[in-house]
Structure 1
């Protein structure tokens, strides 16, 4: 069965710029995982993670733009491969206010289902988080290093992320968890942390969302259903609204 993707624009999506007379809107960088020769996780019936992440990313872009409160850019808007370092570099270049990577889990237990959200840490919060980070970091064959960025950025990436970025990332993850609770199925202990390469931009609060488990039939059906994906993106939009109304707003005021 084919996945309902909707219209897929060609090329990389640039930010929607505000006019000179309007205050600059926060720029959200959406990162649909995998793509091109990298299918990501593959469901037992052959569905590719890369198609689900792209479809959801495009849905989320529409949902965010509809609010009129944000600029939106994407690391990819079609089925192409983008390296992990290229995804980080895109967020740095765009001076993104927020970075959200979209992925799907592939877990050894087919009974496990639900979404989980990850933030960056040097040490994984648990064995499952460490395993997922290892899988995601190896997608382009460069599991340990981020290169291809300026020496200044590279030096920062070699150290811990800044305290403000870390707090912002944790706030975003909590907002996503709270928005999903009771609406979108969640794994036990859904907020986890690990050393994800794609989250290493020290200037941008970032989270990686595993939207569900492709190894679980119910999750796979939910992620392939455009109506169910709309529920997920609506609640992601609500979480981002809450983040900017609460944490980011307090940070700007301070």
Structure 2
């Protein structure tokens, strides 16, 4: 009799708790806090909000809790406390998230994918000041001396780990580490400034990455990744630009968004939107914008590959074309840089080292710097430096001597010779001399 009673108790327990809450993960970002509930099976749930104080209540039907609330890592400025409460029905579990402010939650389940099982995701849009992107404070530059702004996008993040290496290292951590190093190099360069699309371990929507770059008025978007394939053999870095097919599809989407056209085309877009909205005229301007962006992207990628090839192994020596969402912006040259193959055991270990990360960052920076030195955007500090550099060159004309040229620029003959590696005082007509600073 006792054994039969025990059997029915176990049977009742299993039927009442057909699901399990296995863990709770919190991912704060500057404009959203994501909560992920790891579940044993597909969740059945309800949720509602309470005020005074602000709370989000989530009821998990027929669920048993296996989470220790003290062990939950909560760095969100929005969520002040996570606790349980009396459930509405036997066998259910009620979660309460105490909040600092009112929110409009977005709640949705996710099916198993990769290393993850069933999940219930809760997005809480909110301006989290504790994780706001840190802007580098720069001295104000004179009018017409703008900085070149480079948006750096560390691939993946938060709930999206990216590729996972043989030693279980995650792409999202490597991309952030390289991106931070690259940003530091750019911010040290006069006339250049870096903006990161994410500064921590959280996910940024793919479309939002281009928006962050656009709001920062970026001249270039670099998305940093680490490649992965099923075969562990391939190694080396590569650079990708947008394929023409993807460019054409994105163009069709932009044509439907008049407000976006105004932003992308400046005054021209505004005139178009206020006029008859001639689709052929609009298409022409957007075609020109996209063509210029893709051409610049390809040229910059060649400079980066050239610099990277001197310090790291290359998988492809020429830029590759792909249909990738982060490259789709028609107004900003955009590249995706694969720093190496995390799926290769040797390269996985390399990508984890500070020395190799610095090599990659230095090479990417060198390529970007090389391109903009040769093609400085008008009105930028780099452009003015290029003009100054050109002004410090002198083409020898008939009747000029080395001593006369030195006197003209206020430098000594010996310094002028040494700066140009001249073996004698003799110069030839048409010879170009670099003039050292006085």
Q: Deviations over 1:168-190 (max 9, x none)?
A: 10011101110011321111344
Are 1:14 and 2:126 an aligned pair?
no
> Normalization by structure 1: what TM-score?
0.79
After superposition, the C-alpha distances for 1:171-218 in whole angstroms (9 at most, x for unaligned) are: 111011100113211113442011211111111111000110011012
Report the alpha carbon displacement of residue 151 of structure 1 after superposing the two structures with TM: 4.4
Matched residue of 2:169: which SS? coil
Tell me if structure 2 keeps the 8 A contact 1:13–1:76. no
SS at match of 2:215: helix
Give the CA deviation at 1:104: 0.6
CA contact (8 A) 1:118 1:191 kept: yes
Q: Residues 63 and 109 from structure 1, CA distance in 2 versus in 1: closer, same or farther, beyond 3 angstroms?
A: same
| Uncovered stretches (5+) of structure 2, i.e. residues with no partner | 1-129, 247-251, 265-282, 384-438
- Partner residue in 1 for 2:203: 81
Larger Rg: 2
Q: Is the 8 A contact 1:35 1:82 kept in 2?
A: yes
Which runs of structure 2 are paired with 1:1-254 in the superposition (5 Å)?
Answer: 10-14=131-135, 16-21=137-142, 23-123=145-245, 151-153=258-260, 162-248=290-376
Higher strand proportion (structure 1 or 2): 2
Q: 1:68 to 1:20 in 2, by over 3 A?
A: closer
Q: What TM-score do you get using the length of structure 2 for normalisation?
A: 0.47
User: Is this contact kept in 1: 2:136–2:187, CA < 8 A?
Assistant: no
Deviation, structure 1 residue 46: 0.8
Provide the rounded CA distance (Å) in 2 between the counterparts of 1:96 and 1:188: 27
Aligned residues: 224
Whose relative contact order is higher, 1 or 2, with alpha carbons under 8 Å and at least 6 apart? 1
For residues 250 and 71 of structure 1, do their structure 2 counterparts lie closer, same or farther at Cα, with a shift above 3 Å needed? Answer: closer
5+ residue gaps, structure 1, are: 1-8, 125-144
Cα distance between partner residues in 2 of 1:240 and 1:219: 24
User: Distance between the aligned counterparts of 2:150 and 2:365, measured in 1?
Assistant: 11
